[in-house]
Chains A and B, each alone.
Chain A
Amino acid sequence: MTNNNPHTIDTIVIGAGHAGLAVSYCLTGRSIDHLVFERGEVANSWRNERWDSLKLLTPNWQSRLPGYSYRGENPDGYMDVKEVIGFIENYALHSKAPVQTSTTVTSLKKTSRGYQVVTNRGTWNCRSVVIASGACNLPSIPRAAETLPDNVQQVTSREYRNPEQLKQGGVIIVGASSTGLQLAEEIHRSGRPVTIAVGEHVRLPRIYRGRDIQWWMDAAGILDEGQSDIDDINRVRRLPSPQLIGSRKHPILDLNVMGDLGIQLVGRLMAVNNGVVQFSGSLKNVCALADLKMNRLLKVIDEWAVQNPQTSEYAPIERFEPTRVDETPCLGLNLADNDIKTIIWATGYRPDYSWLDVPVLDRKGMIRHQGGVADSPGMYVVGLPFLRHRKSSFLHGAEDDARFICEHLDSFLNGTTRKSENGFY
C-alpha cells in the first residue's frame, strides 16, 4: 500500500538478511522502535542469487545469531541453500522481526532531523539507519568482459545455478576462490572441459589434524581478530573466500585436486585480444603465495595447539603438497580453436549503493566507516567482510557486530554519543 505522507520512526534497517535481522533483534532488545525493509522476501539473496548445490563453508555448530542457534542433528555438517533460507526465515519469525517485505529502498538522504528513506511503498523519516544490504549485490566483472565475442556465453556466479544452463563445450572459470573451484568441479563432472584462470587466492584445508579449520580459527582466536590486530585492514576486507567446500565427504578442494581431475590451470585473466583470452604469466607465484600463507596459518595453529591441549588429542601435525603448476602454463586460449563456449565470472562481488544519496562513499565507492559506524551521524553499516572482526564475514559474526552497532545507535538516539578523535561519531 503506497502512502504519500512520510512516516516517522527511530530506526530503519535496510535488508533482512542475517545481519539485518541480528540488528533488529538487538534493537528490539533495547526497545528501539524500528522497521526492517527488505526488497524481496527474508533471505532474498539466498533465494534468488545463489547456485543450486551451494553449501555454507561454515559447519552447522557455528550457525548462530543473537538468541538463536542450529538445533539440528548434524552439527558437523554444512547447510545447503534451502536450509540456510529456512534458518534465516525461522529466525525472523522467532525474533518477531518487524520486516516489511517487497519494499525496495530507492533513496536514502540526509535531512535536518536524520534521514529520509524513499521506498516503492512510501517514504519514511528516521533518526538513524542501519545499512544491512550486504557486500554482494553486484558481481564484479573485469573490463575484459566487454571485449569478448558475442557468441561466447557469459555467466556470473550470481546467475549460475547448475551446469545444465551452460552450452556444451569448453568453459573458462575466471576466479579460483571457493565459488570458482566448486563450480569448476561440478561443471567438469558434467562433461564440459574446464579451465580455471587463477589470480590471488586463499588456500585452506577443510580438515586439519582431525578438526574442521573453522574449529581451529575459532578456538585459536583468529576469527576474533579485530582491526587493531591487522596490518592492512583494506587488504583483509578484500580477501577472496577461501578454497573450501561445505563437505566432509570430499573435504579437500584445492588446485591440486583440480589438476588431478584434468582441469587446466592458467594465470589470471588479463585481456581478450582478437578472440584470444590472455592469461598472466604469474601463476606459479600466486600459487606460491597461497601455499606460503596457508603454511603460516597452520604454524600459528600448531603453536596454539601446543599451548592448548584438549582432552581428546589432536591428530599429528600435517602439511599439504605444494600447489603443482605446469612448467609452462598456457598464456592464451583462442576461443574458437578451443571450442570455448562459456566464460563464468567467479570474480567476486561489490555492494550496490546507487540508492545512497548521502556523501559517505570513498573514492572506491565503499561506505566510509569505523567498525560499522558510518561517517554520517546516526548511520551504521553491518554485514561487510571484516567489519569489526575476521568473523564478521561469517553467519555467527553478525551477533557481536549487531550488539556493538545497536549500543552505539542507542547512545546516539539518547544524545549521549561523543564525536571520536577521527571525526566519526
Chain B
Amino acid sequence: MSEVINTSNNGVNVDALLGAREAFTQTPEAAQFKWRTSCTWINGTHSRSSVEGYFGLGAEQSHRKEFIFDSDHPEIFASEDNGVTPNEFILVALASCLTAGIATIAEHRGIQLNSVKATLEAGMDLQGVLGVDADVRNGFDGIKVHFDIDADASSEDIAALVAQSQKRSAAFDIVTNPTNVAVSVN
C-alpha cells in the first residue's frame, strides 16, 4: 500500500526523514556525513572521549553541547572502573541504533509503540586479547539481542519492525560487516 494513515505518535518526525531522502536523491553530496570523536588518555586504562562536532549537509555541524564519555576497565582487571569498557560502548551503540530504528519504522508504518526494551549480551574469550590463544579472536564471539516490545500491532508486524530495523541500521552494518580502519600516528 502506498498511503499510510498515521495513527501513531512515537515522537519521530518521519516527514523530515522522508524529506531528507528526497533531498539526498537530488543532492547526494548533502548526504555525506563525517562522525567524529577525540579521545584523551587520563591514566592507566582510563581515557575520556569527547563528541561535539560532525560534518553533514555540506557543512560543519555541532551537537547541542559537548558530550563526554569516560572509558576504563573494571576492577577485576586490576583497573579503576572509571567508565564502561569499549566493548560495552559497542553494545550501547548497537542497542541504540536498533531501538531508534524500531521507533522510526513504527512511526512510518502507523504503529503505536508502548514500550521497547532491548537486552544485549556478547560473549568474549579473553584468551584472544591477552594473547594466550592465537585461535581465539580479540572481539566478540557473537552478539545476542533480545527485544521486548509492547505495541498496538500483531506479532508479525512487530517482528517485521525488528527485521527492518536491522536492515537499515548503521551500527548493525558496522558490527556485522567488515569496515576499514586506518590508524596513523604523529
Complex CA–CA separation, A121 to B101 (angstroms): 56
Instruction: Tell whether A288 is near chain B: CB-to-CB under 8 Å.
Output: yes
Binds A, one of B7-15, B37-45, B55-63, B159-167: B159-167
Chain B 86-125, CB within 8 Å of chain A: the 1/0 string?
0000000000000000000000000000000000000000
Please pick, from B2, B141, B167, the residue contacting A285 in the complex, using a CB distance under 8 A: B167
Q: CB-nearest residue of chain A relative to B3?
A: A231
The stretch among A105-113, A188-196, A267-275, A405-413 that forms the contact with chain B is A267-275
Contact assessment for A282 and B156 in the assembled complex, using a CB-CB cutoff below 8 Å: no
For the complex of A and B, the 9 pairs showing the least CB-CB separation, nearest first, are A281-B176, A285-B166, A282-B176, A271-B178, A289-B163, A288-B163, A270-B177, A280-B177, A292-B160
With a CB–CB cut-off of 8 A, which chain B residues contact A328?
Answer: 141-142
Q: How long is the Cα–Cα vector from A281 to B178 in the complex, in angstroms?
A: 10
Query: Given the complex, which residues of A lie within 8 Å of B177, measured CB to CB?
Result: 270, 280-282
Contact A270 B2 (CB under 8 A): no
- Max chain B CB contacts within 10 Å: which of A278, A281, A328? A281
Interface centre among B164, B167, B175 (most CB of A within 10 A): B167
CA distance A282 to B177 in the complex (A): 8
A273 CA to B176 CA in the complex, in Å? 16
Not counting A228-B2, A231-B2, A270-B178, a sample of 9 additional A-B residue pairs whose C-beta atoms are within 8 angstroms of each other reads A229-B1, A231-B1, A271-B178, A280-B176, A282-B166, A282-B176, A289-B163, A292-B159, A295-B156
Which chain A residues numbered 277 to 326 have a C-beta less than 8 Å away from chain B? 278, 280-282, 285, 288-289, 292, 295-296
> Min CB distance, A121 to chain B, in Å?
41
Name which of A271, A278, A282, A295 has the most chain B CB atoms within 10 A of its CB.
Answer: A282
Instruction: Tell whether, in the assembled complex, residue B178 and residue A278 are in contact, meaning their CB atoms are under 8 Å apart.
Output: yes
Which A residues, 360 to 400, have Cβ-Cβ distances below 8 Å to chain B? 363
**Is A145 an interface residue, CB under 8 A from the partner?**
no
16 residue pairs from A and B, CB less than 8 Å apart:
A200-B167, A230-B2, A231-B1, A231-B2, A273-B178, A280-B177, A281-B175, A281-B176, A282-B173, A285-B163, A285-B166, A285-B167, A285-B172, A289-B164, A289-B167, A292-B160
**Which of B156, B163, B172, B176 is the one whose CB lies under 8 Å from A267?**
B176
CA distance A282 to B163 in the complex (A): 10
Residues of B within 8 A of A281 (CB): 175-177
Min CB distance B93 to A, Å, is 15
Q: Which residues of A contact B156 (CB under 8 A)?
A: 292, 295-296
Q: Output the least CB separation between A333 and chain B (Å).
A: 14
Q: How far is the CA of A231 from the CA of B178 in the complex (A)?
A: 31
User: What A residues does B142 contact at CB under 8 A?
Assistant: 328
Binding site secondary structure of chain A: mixed
Which residue of B141, B159, B172 contacts A288 across the interface (Cβ within 8 Å)? B159
Q: Which residues of B contact A230 (CB under 8 A)?
A: 2
B117 to chain A, nearest CB (A): 19
Q: Shortest distance in angstroms between B179's beta carbon and chain A's nearest beta carbon?
A: 10
Residues of B within 8 Å of A292, CB to CB, are 156, 159-160, 163
Bound Cα distance from A278 to B141, whole angstroms: 15
The complex places the Cα of A409 from the Cα of B53 at a distance, in Å, of 55
The answer for the CA separation of A23 and B112 in the assembled complex, in Å, is 49
In the bound complex, CA of A178 to CA of B158 (Å):
28
- Roughly how many angstroms separate A333 CA and B104 CA in the complex, as a whole number? 36
User: How many whole Å from B121's CB to the nearest CB in chain A?
Assistant: 14
The residue on A at minimum CB distance from B173 is A282
- Give the residue name and chain of the A residue nearest to B144 (CB): A327
Residues of B within 8 A of A285 (CB): 163, 166-167, 172
Chain B 13-35: CB-based contact to A (< 8 A → 1; otherwise 0): 00000000000000010000000
Complex alpha-carbon distance, A200 and B163, angstroms: 12
User: Which residues in chain B, 125-182, are within 8 Å of chain A measured between CB atoms?
Assistant: 141-142, 156, 159-160, 163-164, 166-167, 172-173, 175-178
Cα(A361)–Cα(B31), bound, Å: 21
Tell me the bound Cα distance from A8 to B176 in angstroms.
57
In the complex the two chains form, what is the Cα distance from A147 to B98 in whole Å? 32
Tell me, in angstroms, the Cα distance from A224 to B156 when the chains sit together: 26
Distance A199 CA – B142 CA, assembled complex (angstroms): 19
Q: Which of B1, B172, B178 contacts A282 (CB 8 A)?
A: B172
In the complex, the chain B residue whose C-beta lies closest to that of A234 is: B25
Nearest-CB distance from A54 to chain B (Å)?
A: 30
Binary flags per residue of A62-88, CB closer than 8 Å to B gives 1, else 0: 000000000000000000000000000
Shortest Cβ distance from residue A294 to the other chain B in the assembled complex, whole angstroms: 11
Give Cα A228 to B163, complex, Å.
Answer: 26
A200 to B164, CA, bound (A): 12
Given the complex of chains A and B, what is the CA–CA distance between A363 and B25 in angstroms? Answer: 10
User: Which of chain A's residues have a CB closer than 8 A to the CB of B178?
Assistant: 270-271, 273, 278
User: CA separation between A198 and B51, bound complex, in Å?
Assistant: 37
A270–B179 CA distance with the chains assembled, in angstroms: 10
Which residue on B lies nearest to A272, using beta carbons?
A: B178
Q: Report A196 CB to chain B, min CB distance, Å.
A: 18
Closest to A363 in B: B28
Chain A residue at smallest Cβ distance from B140? A281
**Contact partners of A231 in chain B: CB under 8 A:** 1-2
- Docked Cα-Cα span, A203 to B166, in Å, equals 19
Chain A contacts of B141 at CB under 8 A? 328
B164: nearest chain-A partner, CB-CB? A289
Closest to A228 in B: B2
Chain B residues within an 8 Å CB radius of A200: 167
